[in-house]
């Protein structure tokens, strides 16, 4: 029994990020989760190519793909569409199901060349 417990603990210790693998660079953003109306700086975002991975404090995550057609981002996976709007302070607000995220962003002028 004791050997089995030690083996389980050793296996669990091996889960997660490999030793020496640095934490990815992340930025904290405001989010309102699970239908909450209050935003708080509790979500973290990492960028992988043109994909933003939004990490929730409960361990869940959402993936958004950056697009250059004026929408800002779209859902990168799943069946739920991302509803995107620009808010008064110049940030991009993205709603997915019961969650909302606010990203610092710059509005591209209408006459800016498309890439």
Query: pLDDT tens, 35-92?
Result: 999 999 999 999 999 999 999 999 999 999 999 988 889 999 878 999 999 998 889 9
DSSP letter at 98?
Answer: T
pLDDT at position 9: 40
Q: DSSP letter string over 71-93?
A: S-EEESSSSPPPEEEE-TTSEEE
80 CB-side CA count, 13 A: 13
Please state whether the predicted TM-score (pTM) of the whole model is above 0.85.
Answer: no
pLDDT at 94: 97
Q: In whole angstroms, what separates CA 58 from the centre of its chain?
A: 12
Q: Which of 14, 77, 81 is nearest to 48 (CA)?
A: 77
Q: In what order do the strands lie in the sheet with 91-96?
A: 73-75, 61-66, 51-55, 40-48, 27-32, 99-104, 91-96, 83-86
Q: Give the pLDDT band (50/70/90) at residue 107.
A: low
Q: What are the sequence ranges of the domains in the chain?
A: 24-104
């Amino acid at each position: 029994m004791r050997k089995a417990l030690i083996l389980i603990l050793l296996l669990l210790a091996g889960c997660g990020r490999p030793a020496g693998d640095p934490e990815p660079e992340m930025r904290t953003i405001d989010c309102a989760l699970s239908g909450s109306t209050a935003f708080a700086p509790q979500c973290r975002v990492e960028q992988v190519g043109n994909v933003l991975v939004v990490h929730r404090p409960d361990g869940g995550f959402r993936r958004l793909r950056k697009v250059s057609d004026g929408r800002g981002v779209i859902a990168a996976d799943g069946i739920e569409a991302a509803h995107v709007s620009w808010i008064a302070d110049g940030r991009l607000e993205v709603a997915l199901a019961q969650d909302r995220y606010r990203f610092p962003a710059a509005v591209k002028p209408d006459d800016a060349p498309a890439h």
